[in-house]
Amino acid sequence: MRSALVLGTGLIGTSIALALSGRGVRVHLADRDPDQRRTAAALGAGTEEPPEGPVDLAVAAVPPAHVAAALGGLQARGAARGYMDVASVKGGPRRELTAAGGDLRAYLGTHPMAGRERSGPLAATADLFEGRPWVLTPTPETDTEVLNQVLELVSLCRAVPVVMDADAHDRAVGLVSHTPQLVSSLLAARLASAEETAVRLSGQGIRDVTRIAASDAGMWIDILSANPGPVADILSEFAVDLDETVRALRALESADEVKRAEGAAGVEGVLRRGNAGRERVPGKHGAAPAAYETVAVLISDRPGELARIFADAGRAGVNVEDVRIEHATGRQAGLVQLMVQPASAPVLTASLRERGWSIRQ
């Protein structure tokens, strides 16, 4: 691929543009908001100059409700040889493009399974899609050349292509993306009016479960409006599970020993089913989750401490597979959990101790 046009230079569009530009593709940037386009260009994502002729691939990275109109407009002026979108829902945009008389042979609906709770070009990174699944929804009418261009884009973004039917995709992301967003928002909403004393105690658990509650509400209304049925189905099953869990917890309050035992079994069942579900979530690069060992290190809240600990891990010859940081409320210290291969844990622990770090068991 030699040239691309990215329409919509927010989080996803700019991340794609950064990855393509970094690998030698000439990327033209467009956005209805000139500030977003300017910012993306300043980040090195591409040029603000419009292309002189049709580019190889045009990418519509705009909110789902705008996809069909954006693609229709691009196709009407012959902006590219192939067209794709990255919207989080696939059935609706395809039907809208069909209704608007768009050219479906030159179009491929896609969805990268990577993102963030922040929007806009300043949140973009070139490595956002590395090792992540990227869903492609070709149909028998999709032009092979367009499919190949999209596969090349996915490969340049270092993502892993996954081919699916558009409606099957929407049901699947209803479970693994859209319902989690609502569950996270529902839980975070409980904090909005909670006592300050309670909120100040927030640790890593609540941070993990509510991170995506910070996402853009406008974008999510768009996504959920395009996939309400599957999400409502999953949430009603969730509501049944919630009712059962509440009943089990009430039973745990009972004076009757038999009822308490039933309650405990009910709650344990929820926790164990949760363990089983969590085990199925793939780790990095789409592989099964690796069993890493954690080396927990106390760090002081000073600039450069994180860089220093990573450099020391490198000096010990240990690859850090994953990392977590816990900030202790009101204290000038935090706990860094370095996840490493089990065989590397003793090496890292000894080496960091030698360099003066305080290791927590």
Ligand X SMILES: NC(=O)c1ccc[n+]([C@@H]2O[C@H](COP(=O)([O-])OP(=O)(O)OC[C@H]3O[C@@H](n4cnc5c(N)ncnc54)[C@H](O)[C@@H]3O)[C@@H](O)[C@H]2O)c1
One-letter amino acid for residue 153 of the chain: L
Tell me the window of 48-56, 111-119, 158-166, 295-303 that interacts with ligand PRE (CB under 6 A): 111-119
| Rounded Cα distance, 199 and 203, in Å | 9
| Rounded Cα distance, 208 and 322, in Å | 15
Contact between 110 and ligand X by CB under 6 A: the answer reads: no
Give the one residue of 3, 110, 119, 349 binding ligand X; rule: CB under 6 A: 119
- Paired with 327 in beta bridges are 334
| Rounded Cα distance, 7 and 79, in Å | 11
The token pair that represents 199 in the structure block: 């909120």
Whether 91 contacts 166, CB under 8 Å: yes
Interaction pattern, residues 275-304, with ligand PRE; x per rule: CB under 6 A: ------------------------------
Look at residue 120 and give the partner it binds from ligand X, ligand PRE, none, a contact being a CB closer than 5 to 8 Å depending on partner kind: ligand X
Interaction pattern, residues 53-92, with ligand PRE; x per rule: CB under 6 A: -----------------------------------x----
Q: Which residues contact 156 (CB under 8 A, 6 or more apart)?
A: 1, 19, 20, 23, 25
Determine how β-strand 133-136 pairs with β-strand 55-60.
unpaired
| Rounded Cα distance, 120 and 15, in Å | 10
Give the one residue of 20, 27, 59, 70 binding ligand X; rule: CB under 6 A: 70
- Paired with 30 in beta bridges are 7
Give the one residue of 46, 64, 82, 102 binding ligand X; rule: CB under 6 A: 64
Whether 149 contacts 1, CB under 8 Å: yes
CA nearest neighbour of 89 among 213, 177, 152:
177
Containing 235, the helix (H) or strand (E) segment is: helix 228-252
Contact between 16 and ligand X by CB under 6 A: the answer reads: no
Contact between 227 and ligand X by CB under 6 A: the answer reads: no
Contact between 117 and ligand PRE by CB under 6 A: the answer reads: yes
Look at residue 8 and give the partner it binds from ligand PRE, ligand X, none, a contact being a CB closer than 5 to 8 Å depending on partner kind: ligand X
Smallest gap from residue 290 Cβ to ligand PRE (A): 20
| Rounded Cα distance, 174 and 223, in Å | 10
Residue 64 or 266 with smaller CB distance to ligand X = 64
Q: Which residues contact 123 (CB under 8 A, 6 or more apart)?
A: 11, 116
The interface with ligand PRE within residues 195-214 (CB under 6 A) comprises 212
Give the one residue of 41, 62, 108, 234 binding ligand X; rule: CB under 6 A: 62
Give the one residue of 46, 115, 138, 266 binding ligand X; rule: CB under 6 A: 115
Give the one residue of 116, 259, 327, 355 binding ligand PRE; rule: CB under 6 A: 116
Look at residue 18 and give the partner it binds from ligand PRE, ligand X, none, a contact being a CB closer than 5 to 8 Å depending on partner kind: none
Look at residue 13 and give the partner it binds from ligand PRE, ligand X, none, a contact being a CB closer than 5 to 8 Å depending on partner kind: ligand X
> How many contiguous H segments (helices) and E segments (strands) does the chain have?
14, 11
Look at residue 212 and give the partner it binds from ligand X, ligand PRE, none, a contact being a CB closer than 5 to 8 Å depending on partner kind: ligand PRE
Smallest gap from residue 308 Cβ to ligand PRE (A): 28
The alpha carbon of residue 76 and the mean position of all alpha carbons in its chain are separated, in whole angstroms, by 32
Residue 137 or 177 with smaller CB distance to ligand PRE = 177
| Rounded Cα distance, 208 and 129, in Å | 20
DSSP 8-state code for residue 301: S
| Rounded Cα distance, 338 and 318, in Å | 10
Total chain residues near ligand PRE (CB under 6 A): 8
Residue 55 or 86 with smaller CB distance to ligand X = 86
Contact residues toward ligand PRE (CB under 6 A) are 88, 113-117, 177, 212
Site residues, ligand X (CB under 6 A): 7-13, 31-33, 36, 61-64, 66, 70, 86-88, 111-112, 115-116, 119-120, 219, 223
